[in-house]
């Protein structure tokens, strides 16, 4: 039976606080604190971070990748392929983009399970990632949440949570929607969509699953239903009628907000990382009906706690110092027109270095060079090198805070760091304050959007405090 072998999650560190929103617009829950992606993050980079948290650096093995998002950076080009390159997956890979509905996360999970079960994939990665389209001053500003979750699926001894039963139910329904080009999500009448949409449809999906399985409500230890907000969540839970203890005391919708297609998988990652062997876990995704999956934690489930998940992300919360930063992060102010040079052929021919961080280790002198040169800059040997993947972690050797390059932060921190195991890299630092940066500090590499030169997304690595 196919199931989950590894999990990871990434919730961006910045927090937009209710107080800041209230100060500008006069309304907003002052206690709210919503995770928002930084200016150099998008659904692809969030997805990469989550997948890296589920896999080993440089050792990721998968032959299928399902990338689910309603906010994919590209409308027409593989987003999954970018994620695969940055996560260093093998090239013999089935890579699918799935979107269109917030149910895409669980849809991707179902599709991946089927592939593993059928044998067309031996190990599948499912990544759901969202940078939600919240409009400044709009009703979703404090309701939406950015984040990503990743699951690796396989068969056999490695499985930490088997998927026992799945059920899906589909009924076209207009509750929330967004047309291409629109920057915000529209919603129907709140009472109608709650009662007839979220509550009724989730109940139908769950009922259908329960009929299929021999399990009763009492058998299921954790019930993780998708809901856009805490009130809807409470209404769904009441209708479903599980014991109170099965529901999370404070669902993610209450603690973080609505993470869209990533929400069910984020909840599942968090649930699995707290599960004990033998527990049954029910998770739903929603969108014109929905998907429900029933999992059973195996003896291996405790091994999932090692991965970086929701708790790890939440520990690193950084409140935005003021509302204006949120506007700058979303590019809602006057920005300098910057058009860096780029070229698809350059990006392609160098991708093993720039995406997969393959430096060169000279076989003559042993020096690690990045970017690698054919003629070793240490000893002059020509074409005598082997690939060496840079480690993720390193120490800062020196740095500056430069106010000249355009940046939503007002300055760019450039640092040179020596990476564990060899190699030195000079790059931007992100997710830190000036006061946090010092010579000798430990940093790790994070995948970020660098710029949009030549009209497409140019991704690269930056440092962040480790």
Task: Rule CB under 8 A: say whether 412 interacts with other proteins.
Answer: yes
Under rule CB under 8 A, which residues in 433-462 are in contact with other proteins? 434, 439, 450-451, 453-454, 458, 460
Cα distances (angstroms) measured from residue 272 to each of 206, 291, 422, 435: 19, 18, 36, 37
Which C-beta is closer to other proteins: that of 208 or that of 367? 367
Q: Which window, 71-79, 81-89, 138-146, 362-370, contacts other proteins (CB under 8 A)?
A: 362-370
Asked if residues 113 and 153 have their Cβ atoms less than 8 Å apart, the reply is yes
For the chain, the residue count is: 466
Task: Rule CB under 8 A: say whether 338 interacts with other proteins.
Answer: yes
Which C-beta is closer to other proteins: that of 371 or that of 380? 371
Among 30, 137, 405, 436, binds other proteins (CB under 8 A): 405
Whole-number minimum distance, CB 465 to other proteins, in Å? 17
Asked if residues 69 and 170 have their Cβ atoms less than 8 Å apart, the reply is no
Judged on CB neighbours under 10 Å (0-12, 13-18, 19+), 153 is buried
Task: Rule CB under 8 A: say whether 390 interacts with other proteins.
Answer: no
Residue 434 tokens read as 């000036």
Residue 384 tokens read as 């005598």
CA-based radius of gyration for the chain = 23
Task: Rule CB under 8 A: say whether 394 interacts with other proteins.
Answer: no
Q: Give residues with Cβ within 8 angstroms of 309, minimum separation 6.
A: 7, 8, 9, 53, 269, 270, 273
Which C-beta is closer to other proteins: that of 202 or that of 369? 369
Cα distances (angstroms) measured from residue 36 to each of 60, 133, 145, 148, 175: 27, 11, 6, 12, 24
Among 100, 424, 432, 465, binds other proteins (CB under 8 A): 424
Whole-number minimum distance, CB 341 to other proteins, in Å? 5
Among 416, 421, 432, 465, binds other proteins (CB under 8 A): 416
Task: Rule CB under 8 A: say whether 403 interacts with other proteins.
Answer: yes
Cα distances (angstroms) measured from residue 136 to each of 15, 71, 324, 330: 14, 17, 10, 9
d(CA 203, CA 283): 12
d(CA 327, CA 376): 46
- What is the distance, to the nearest Å, from the Cα of residue 101 to the centroid of all Cα atoms in its chain? 17
Task: Rule CB under 8 A: say whether 341 interacts with other proteins.
Answer: yes
Which C-beta is closer to other proteins: that of 23 or that of 338? 338
Task: Rule CB under 8 A: say whether 406 interacts with other proteins.
Answer: yes
Task: Rule CB under 8 A: say whether 347 interacts with other proteins.
Answer: yes
Among 316, 339, 349, 374, binds other proteins (CB under 8 A): 339
37's torsion region: left (phi>0), alpha (psi -120 to 50) or beta?
beta
Which C-beta is closer to other proteins: that of 192 or that of 411? 411
Among 275, 425, 445, 449, binds other proteins (CB under 8 A): 425
Whole-number minimum distance, CB 393 to other proteins, in Å? 16
Asked if residues 70 and 100 have their Cβ atoms less than 8 Å apart, the reply is yes
d(CA 288, CA 298): 32
Task: Rule CB under 8 A: say whether 375 interacts with other proteins.
Answer: no
Whole-number minimum distance, CB 86 to other proteins, in Å? 12
Judged on CB neighbours under 10 Å (0-12, 13-18, 19+), 234 is middle
Among 369, 391, 444, 446, binds other proteins (CB under 8 A): 369
Task: Rule CB under 8 A: say whether 378 interacts with other proteins.
Answer: yes
Whole-number minimum distance, CB 48 to other proteins, in Å? 15
Asked if residues 315 and 179 have their Cβ atoms less than 8 Å apart, the reply is no
Task: Rule CB under 8 A: say whether 321 interacts with other proteins.
Answer: no
Task: Rule CB under 8 A: say whether 346 interacts with other proteins.
Answer: yes
Closest CA to 55 of 271, 395, 306, 430: 306
Among 343, 375, 436, 442, binds other proteins (CB under 8 A): 343
Interface residues toward other proteins, by CB under 8 A: 338-343, 346-347, 350, 354, 367-371, 377-378, 397-406, 411-412, 414, 416, 418, 422-428, 434, 439, 450-451, 453-454, 458, 460
């Amino acid at each position: 039976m196919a199931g989950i072998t590894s999990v990871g999650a990434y919730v961006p560190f910045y927090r937009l606080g209710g107080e800041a929103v209230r100060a500008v617009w006069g309304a907003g829950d002052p206690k709210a604190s919503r995770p928002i992606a930084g200016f150099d993050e998008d659904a692809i980079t969030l997805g990469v971070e989550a997948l890296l948290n589920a896999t080993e650096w440089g050792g990721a093995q998968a032959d299928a990748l399902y990338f689910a998002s309603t906010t994919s950076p590209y409308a027409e080009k593989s987003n999954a392929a970018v994620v695969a390159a940055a996560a260093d997956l093998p090239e013999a890979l089935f890579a699918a983009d799935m979107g269109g509905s917030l149910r895409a996360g669980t849809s991707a999970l179902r599709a991946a399970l089927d592939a593993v079960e059928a044998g067309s994939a031996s190990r599948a990665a499912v990544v759901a990632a969202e940078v939600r389209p919240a409009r400044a001053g709009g009703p979703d500003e404090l309701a939406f949440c950015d984040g990503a979750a990743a699951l690796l699926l396989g068969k056999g001894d490695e499985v930490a949570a088997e998927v026992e039963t799945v059920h899906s139910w589909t009924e076209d329904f207009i509750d929330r929607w967004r047309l291409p080009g629109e920057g915000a999500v529209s919603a129907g009448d709140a009472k109608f969509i709650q009662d007839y949409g979220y509550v009724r449809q989730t109940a139908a999906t769950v009922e259908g699953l329960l009929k299929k399985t021999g399990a009763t409500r009492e058998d299921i230890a954790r019930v993780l239903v998708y809901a856009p907000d805490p009130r809807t969540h409470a209404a769904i839970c009441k209708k479903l009628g599980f014991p109170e203890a099965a529901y999370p005391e404070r669902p993610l919708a209450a603690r973080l907000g609505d993470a869209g297609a990533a929400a069910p998988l984020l909840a599942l990652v968090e649930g699995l990382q707290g599960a004990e062997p033998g527990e049954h876990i029910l998770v739903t995704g929603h969108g014109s009906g929905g998907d429900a999956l029933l999992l059973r934690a195996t003896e291996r489930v405790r091994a999932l706690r090692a991965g970086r998940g929701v708790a790890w992300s939440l520990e690193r919360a950084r409140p935005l110092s003021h509302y204006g930063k949120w506007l700058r992060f979303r590019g809602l102010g006057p920005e300098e027109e910057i058009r860096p040079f780029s070229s698809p052929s350059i990006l392609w021919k160098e991708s093993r270095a720039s995406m997969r961080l393959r430096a060169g280790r000279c076989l003559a002198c042993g020096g690690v060079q990045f970017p690698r040169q054919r003629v070793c800059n240490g000893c002059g040997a020509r074409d005598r090198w082997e690939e060496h993947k840079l480690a993720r972690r390193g120490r800062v050797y020196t740095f500056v805070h430069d106010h000249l390059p355009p940046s939503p932060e007002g300055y760019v921190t450039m640092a040179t760091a020596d990476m564990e195991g060899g190699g030195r890299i000079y790059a931007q630092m992100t997710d830190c304050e000036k006061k946090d940066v010092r010579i000798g500090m430990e940093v790790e590499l994070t995948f970020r959007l660098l710029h949009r030169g030549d009209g497409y997304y140019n991704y690269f690595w930056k440092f962040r405090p480790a």
